Chain A
């Protein structure tokens, strides 16, 4: 069993919809949680970074962490075609990152 499981997708939504992305993890030692966005033929870029349970908001993006359930989510409000990308969850323990396999999202204009 993988340490980090991510809904594989792909996900296709109309412009303006809310995108919901999820990851679960098995190791309670994970302390820091991140979401990266990766456009085609580019490297991952950091979207959100948090270490506590609860919600963190940044513009149209909200990251949610529930440590008791070992579950993290990313919500994208008012989705745009430019949000079409692969989204990777990542979590850190002892300085090493473990990644989900990624969810590819397409926002249709």
Chain B
């Protein structure tokens, strides 16, 4: 089974802090994704990556950046956290043709105070 692991289940940070969310997948998947999930809005794509050192903006990239230095690891960075970035963050991965289903981690619930 595909395993997507997010390093923290719950995280509390302060406004203005730089925040790192880490994601690791163990199936040698080429593609990795970061979403945020908010009530009534569903999942929205922040950034994705098709290869090491490559990144593409999703639908809501403002205030975020990403890093993919190794194939199995994809990091989401909040450069200067703000209260409107309080949310559930989900990492996903898939392989091959990009229309293949994505496999998700269990999420990081991030609170910005």
Beyond A49-B101, A92-B99, whether A100 also contacts B42 by CB under 8 A is yes
Return the contact of B98 from the options A36, A44, A45, A94 (Cβ within 8 A).
Answer: A94
Interface size on A (CB < 8 Å)?
Answer: 26
| Secondary structure call for the B interface | loop
Q: Does A95 contact B (CB under 8 A)?
A: yes
- Give the A-B contact count at a CB cut-off of 8 A: 52
A-contact 0/1 string along B48-65, CB 8 Å cutoff:
100000000010000000
Interface size for chain B: under 10, 10 to 19, 20 to 34, or 35 or more residues?
20 to 34
Cα–Cα distance between A101 and B40 once the two chains are bound (Å)? 5
Cβ-closest 10 pairs across A and B: A95-B98, A43-B104, A101-B42, A99-B42, A99-B43, A43-B106, A32-B99, A92-B99, A46-B101, A44-B104
